[in-house]
Structure 1
Amino acid sequence: MRKRLIQISGFLISSLGWLFVLCTMAMDYWRITKIGGQGGSYIIKVAWYWSNLWSDCYTDSAAVTNCREYPVLWNVAYVQAVRGLLMCGLTIGFFAVVCCFVGMECTYIGGSDKTKDKVLFAGAALHFVGGKL
């Protein structure tokens, strides 16, 4: 019973961590700045500048959004490498979640206990590698 409880809690913690990182990668509003609103132009009263890992965007009070991708980052190789490593880490984390689910003692997928322990260990190793990327 204790082994199942440890496996289930470890699975939930690691899976939720992977899911939160995935949600963070998909978020658009990493940094938000309000521009204007204290006088000045009569046409645009308030504007919002927001950015994420992939682009900068600007939205005015008429709800017109202009986005542009970072043009200089395509020339900088290490930034592209960081983006690639983030995607690789998420992919490895997905396979780790699947392996951990199959390898848990409380699931009926995977075969004998010895095989399930190996699959669970492989999932834990994949979580570690995906987290280090």
Structure 2
Amino acid sequence: MDPIVEVVAVILGFIGWIMVGVAIPNRYWRTSTVDGNVITTSTIYENLWMSCATDSTGVSNCRDFPSMLALNGYIQASRALMIASVVFGTFGLLGSLIGIQCSKAGGENYVLKGRIAGTSGVLFMLQGLCTMVAVSWYAFNITQNFFDPYYPGTKYEIGEGLYIGWCSAVLAIAGGAVLTCSCKLGTEEKYPLPHARGTVYSGPAPTRSMAASTYGRNAYV
């Protein structure tokens, strides 16, 4: 595999890992605007950790969710998946920095470095899958409640935090797939060529006179 391709794959995985760190604390996972007059118009926005509200004067107020056990199941699952995504991405990034060919950290054992790079690619793909499931599950619940005419609560819309998460998942999966394809397991065995016991000559057989002259020259010269 071309080292440049490996570097590009690591950069994609690194950007995906950074974007996961940006998406988790982002407050705008879902938003809702309550229309009213100039005084009562407000915007409500939430993420996995807190709920905030901003009025028309620009004053915002945020509060953390009081109890994790009182949250909906999909929010708890999204929290766990996003944290797992950060963990997978961290180990994948460390392994990829060791496993790529242009890195001197892993020595000159390119078979081992290829295996480390392939494992790092799998970790990047797991990061992307965890992120993709978390944000997609969260967005599914938003759209389900929004289009439900009998839903009594506040109807939200998809916020920018989910779009950041989707971009992060795509980049991580793409970078991980390239690293996995570059994995060199060293399964091809190189068998040595068989050595002939004698020397094989090709061409016409020498005559007696030629053999005699050759013998005399080798013996006495």
| Common fold: TM-score over 0.5 | yes
Which shows bigger deviation, 95-104 or 66-75?
66-75
2:150 is matched with none
2:123 is matched with 126
* Residues 45-64 of structure 1 mapped to structure 2, 5 A cutoff: 46-64=41-59
> How high is the TM-score relative to the length of structure 2?
0.50
2:62 is matched with 67
Residue-by-residue CA offset, 1:37-84 (whole Å, 9 max, x unaligned)? x63x7xx36533222222211123454332223346523573323311
2:28 is matched with 29
Residues matched between the structures, number: 128
2:12 is matched with 13
* Max Rg structure: 2
Letter in 2 for 1:132: L
Percent of counterpart pairs with the same letter?
25
Relative to total residues, which structure has the larger strand share, 1 or 2?
1
List runs of 5+ in structure 1 lacking aligned partners. none
Which shows bigger deviation, 95-104 or 79-88?
79-88
Say what the alpha-carbon RMSD is for the aligned residues. Answer: 2.5
Letter in 2 for 1:53: L
Compute the displacement of 1:100 (Å). Answer: 0.6
